[in-house]
Amino acid sequence: EIVLTQSPDFQSVTPKEKVTITCRASQSVGSNLHWYQQKPDQSPTLLIKYASQSISGVPSRFSGSGSGTDFTLTISSLEAEDAAAYYCHQSSSLPFTFGPGTKVDIK
């Protein structure tokens, strides 16, 4: 099983500040790494697919990069509505797995 680790676990950020979340895989997943946002009491929503591909309707301040085992989700300028948990997910091999999540709070 491919284990995904995320850092940090929690981040308290001021609006307009840049946010960087990292996801590391225990073995290569190629580009089969996706990012999701989950707001309280809501289902997850897709933010970035295949490491760096943007999703229609997702604000351009969200971007992704990386390949192999190291990946990054960047929020270029945080807005209040971005308070949420962020998860990475690999679909390279079964069983599919998710990272433990990073909670972003607004200062």
Partner 1 sequence: EVQLVESGGGLVQPGGSLRLSCAASGFTFSYYWMHWVRQTPGRGLVWVSRISADGSSTGYVDSVKGRFTISRDSAKNTLYLQMNSLRADDTAIYYCARTTGGTIDYWGQGSLVTVSS
Nearer to partner 1, 36 or 62 (CB): 36
Number of helices (H), then strands (E), in the chain: 0, 11
Specify the stretch interacting with partner 1 by CB under 8 A; choose among 8-16, 19-27, 62-70, 87-95.
Answer: 87-95
Give residues 44-63 in contact with partner 1 (rule: CB under 8 A). 44-46, 49-50
Tell which one of 54, 69, 76, 91 touches partner 1 (CB under 8 A).
91
* CA distances from residue 2 to 51, 84, 89, 91 in whole angstroms, order as listed: 16, 25, 10, 10
Q: Are the CB atoms for 73 and 20 separated by under 8 Å?
A: yes
103 binds partner 1 (CB under 8 A): no
